[in-house]
């Protein structure tokens, strides 16, 4: 039985990480706590600066399908499991529990890469019964998180999609997406790609604590500018909106996105599924203790009295007076700035199955 150590018992958050604790996943039946016994050693450094490890995963398939009415796509590709960005609010954290790992620090330090993603995608797109629909990259964990600089799996996936003229939507918090403009710009000219940069706050100090290894907010805005200038349809996602912490920035973020060249904008309310609730509340107590009770109280008002609402239709936005207020503010700002509230429709008509094994055809 794998057991986890609670880093929070050792005096606070690990340096450069979003989570301050490493609780057991909800499927675990045993736990272990680190107890300070006065003996210095490597354990202190491991807790203070947990190292990132990457395991190569022998995935059997790469396409993930969903039928959620809240999402604008039905299939996605996730090149990685876990995310080094360390966003404390990430709704994907609970997925690490399926691996016997913690949704806390494990989620941002014990990562899994799928080096065969491109070949698996090529195989899937080549099947006779495959029906072309836009793919999403970044729906669970960020395809442009730091380890992509080394592993380049997202880029290899894009290469297959470009060859097949297959549409793709990308959502990221990383300026690393600019690296692939040589692929994205030609795809954009054929209506095959759009990119969304998620920006939670313009406050760099807050972002450094809340999403410590994502690109700085100003750098994400600059990425919008560079993508848009290259002709890639680009949007800004004000997400997640956190009451009393970031909700006052809605208009400012939209203004920055529009000035950089964003063509549309979207938003979601903070979600706290499963283990994320306790991780986020621990983070609030450490980084915003005077606002903690106000944040959770307002969320409960917007979530029908609960800390989380899993229902389709309301889980992304909440409901009630304060949700209506956010909707009105968002709509008014988008109208004033000329921002659409939906991305452009991607083209599926040019799709052609990629050559098996990456080999070129004779004709």
Measure Cα distances from 219 to 30, 130, 303 in Å.
42, 38, 32
Q: What is the pLDDT of residue 7?
A: 41
Using CA atoms, how far apart are residues 51 and 226, in angstroms rounded to an integer? Answer: 33
Sheet holding 53-56, edge to edge: 53-56, 110-113, 80-81
Assess contact for 322 and 328: CB atoms under 8 A. no
Residue 127: which residues within 8 A CB-CB, separation 6 or more?
Answer: 353
pLDDT in tens, the chain (363 residues): 333 444 433 345 677 899 999 998 887 666 555 555 565 554 454 556 789 999 999 999 999 888 777 677 789 999 999 999 999 999 999 999 999 999 999 999 999 999 999 999 999 999 999 999 999 998 889 999 999 999 999 999 999 999 999 999 999 999 999 999 999 999 999 999 999 999 999 999 999 999 999 999 999 999 999 999 999 999 999 999 999 999 999 999 999 999 999 999 999 999 999 999 999 999 999 999 999 999 999 999 999 999 998 888 888 899 999 999 999 999 999 999 999 999 999 999 999 999 876 654 443
Cα three-residue angle 174-178-182, rounded to 5 degrees:
150
Tokens standing for residue 236: 């800004």
Q: Which CATH number fits domain 7-33+53-347: 3.40.710.10, 3.40.190.170, 3.20.20.70, 3.40.50.970?
A: 3.20.20.70
Tokens standing for residue 295: 């944040």
Q: What is the pLDDT of residue 121?
A: 97
**Residues in the chain, total:** 363
Tokens standing for residue 169: 């939507």
Using CA atoms, how far apart are residues 158 and 219, in angstroms rounded to an integer? Answer: 23
3-state secondary structure 100-167: CCCCCHHHHHEEEECCCHHHHHHHHHHCCCCCCCCEEECCCCCCCCCCHHHHCHHHHHHHHHHHHCCC
Q: What is the pLDDT of residue 362?
A: 40
3-state secondary structure 256-323: HHHHHCCCEEEEEECCCCCCHHHHHHHHHHHHCCCCHHHHHHHHHHHCCCCCCCCCCCCCCCCCCHHH
3-state secondary structure 29-57: CCCCCCCCCCCCCHHHHHHHCCCCEEEEC
Q: What is the pLDDT of residue 315?
A: 81
Domain ranges of the chain: 7-33+53-347
End-to-end CA distance of the chain: 56
Q: What is the pLDDT of residue 312?
A: 85
Give the pairing type, strands 264-269 and 234-241. Answer: parallel
Give the number of other CB atoms < 10 A from CB of residue 225. Answer: 16
């Amino acid at each position: 039985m794998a057991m986890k150590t609670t880093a929070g018992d050792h005096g606070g958050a690990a340096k450069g990480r979003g989570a301050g604790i490493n609780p057991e996943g909800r499927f675990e039946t045993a736990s272990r706590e680190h107890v300070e016994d006065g003996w210095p050693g490597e354990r202190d450094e491991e807790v203070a600066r947990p190292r990132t490890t990457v395991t190569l995963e022998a995935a059997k398939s790469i396409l993930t399908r969903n039928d959620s009415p809240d999402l604008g796509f039905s299939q996605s590709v996730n090149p990685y499991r876990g995310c080094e960005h360390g966003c404390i609010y990430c709704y994907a954290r609970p997925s690490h529990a399926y691996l016997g790992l913690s949704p806390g620090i494990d989620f941002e330090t014990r990562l899994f890469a799928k080096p065969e993603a491109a070949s698996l995608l090529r195989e899937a797109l080549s099947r006779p019964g495959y029906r072309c629909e836009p793919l999403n990259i970044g729906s669970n964990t960020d395809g442009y998180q730091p380890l992509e600089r080394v592993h380049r799996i997202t880029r290899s996936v894009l290469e297959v999609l470009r060859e097949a003229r297959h549409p793709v939507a990308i959502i990221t918090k990383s300026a690393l997406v600019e690296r692939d403009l040589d692929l994205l710009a030609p795809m954009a000219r054929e209506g095959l790609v759009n990119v969304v940069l998620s920006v939670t706050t313009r406050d760099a100090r807050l972002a450094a604590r809340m999403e410590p290894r994502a690109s700085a907010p100003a750098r994400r805005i600059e990425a919008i500018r560079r993508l848009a200038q290259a002709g890639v349809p680009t949007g800004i996602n004000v997400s997640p909106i956190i009451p009393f912490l970031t909700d006052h920035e809605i208009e400012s973020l939209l203004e920055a996105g529009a000035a950089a060249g964003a063509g549309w904008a979207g938003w979601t309310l903070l979600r706290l599924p499963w283990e994320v609730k306790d991780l986020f509340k621990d983070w609030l107590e450490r980084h915003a203790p005077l606002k903690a009770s106000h944040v959770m109280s307002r969320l409960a008002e917007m979530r029908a009295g609960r800390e989380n609402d899993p229902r389709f239709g309301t889980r992304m936005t909440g409901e009630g007076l304060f949700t209506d207020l956010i909707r009105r503010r968002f709509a008014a700002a988008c109208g004033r700035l000329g921002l659409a509230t939906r991305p452009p429709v991607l083209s599926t008509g040019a799709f052609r199955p990629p050559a098996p094994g990456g080999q070129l055809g004779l004709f």
